[in-house]
Amino acid sequence: MDDERQRPDHGRLAGFTVGVTAARRADELGALLERRGAAVLHAPALRIVPLADDGELLAATEEIIERAPDIAVATTAIGFRGWVEAADGWGLGERLLARLGGVRILARGPKVKGAIRAAGLAEEWSPASESLAEVLDRLLAEGVDGLRIAVQLHGEPLPGFVESLRAGGAEVVGVPVYRWLPPEDLGPVDRLLDATVSRTLDAVTFTSAPAAASLLSRAGERGLLDDLVAALGHDVLPACVGPVTALPLQGHGVDTVQPERFRLGPLVQVLCRELPARARVLPVAGHRVEIRGHAVLVDDELRPVPPAGMSLLRALARRPGWVVARADLLRALPGAGRDEHAVETAMARLRGALGAPGLIQTVVKRGYRLALDPRAESKYADA
């Protein structure tokens, strides 16, 4: 009968902690992660500043009304709506929409298409990939020499996109509808950096290239850039919504995971696949023990473990079945100093948290060991 019982559904991300750097749609991403059991550390690496009162946006709008572009490229829904709303505020909304009504409009993705249509306009084409790279490829393949192209910028200058069009002979009018700036409160970002460097995070998500660049910049300001790159390169999984977002990290040699579709849902699905696959699974004293970020699954029962206990457990799991000396375990404890009694205290709490007797054995005058069951090891080899 026991074998027929269903496993408890803790969520694919139960026991893992995920950092969220997004400023926009952060609540949506956080809810998706929490629904799958993850603990979420939210630290917006940027803030969005609308430019409704910005002279640069007003000048670009007046220039487009005065002299129509041949093509307009809309990159984000929030940006396109913000542009139209700003034009309305200046009394230029109707003239702008009338001008854009006679222009070929290319939309980066379905949300931008929705914003375009809500304004009473119609897009000519939108890539299935939702990628600006595909938009650029199409324009260059058609030929842009002598064309005037308006490009709605989305918080970053898009140098590769704009420069490629100009290199092809186009006149490009940038429309800066909002800018990314560092957050006013750097406390959450610093806490996320500290958690990443100390490996208490299991993954960090990035939904824009400026957010990734901002986190790297802040790490540099604090003298933590090398530590951050090392953590993201080995122990903390960097997950990006798409290849453009990943570019700042790749520039520092950091490999990332990305979904095939550049959306939040698929991004969470990637984490649901990758993080459990990275968890250590061991057969210990007749139990199945799966070591996750801040918790352990003991026979599929989720057991939260304090940080000190997780440090000890990971040290034992690096050599399962072997005795690990108290001195070595003391070095694994963060901030424990030289008192080996700290090991005994943390070990007692770890055993209590695991809730299964016999998982960790005391070897008198030597140290502790995980009671690995070699005969069951093959059973969990592919777990």
**CA distances to 55, 66, 199 from 175, in Å:** 11, 14, 41
Q: Which domains does the chain have, with CATH numbers?
A: 2-45+184-278 (3.40.50.10090), 49-177 (3.40.50.10090), 280-380 (1.10.10.10)
Enter the DSSP assignment of 257.
B
% the chain with pLDDT above 90:
64
Banded pLDDT at 292 (limits 50, 70, 90): very high
The whole-number average pLDDT for the span 118-141 is 92
Q: What is the pLDDT of residues 71-114, one digit of tens each?
A: 999 998 888 998 999 999 999 999 999 999 999 999 998 989 99
Query: Ramachandran region of residue 367, left (φ > 0), alpha (ψ -120 to 50) or beta?
Result: left
CA distance 175 to 64: 9
Q: What is the pLDDT of residues 167-211, one digit of tens each?
A: 999 999 999 887 778 888 999 999 999 999 999 899 999 998 889
CA distance 365 to 373: 23
Q: Which residue has the higher pLDDT, 161 or 154?
A: 161
The whole-number average pLDDT for the span 218-225 is 97
Residue 281, strand partner residues? 290
CA distance 309 to 246: 34
Compute the 3-state secondary structure of the chain and give helix, strand, coil in percent, each to the nearest 5: 45, 20, 35
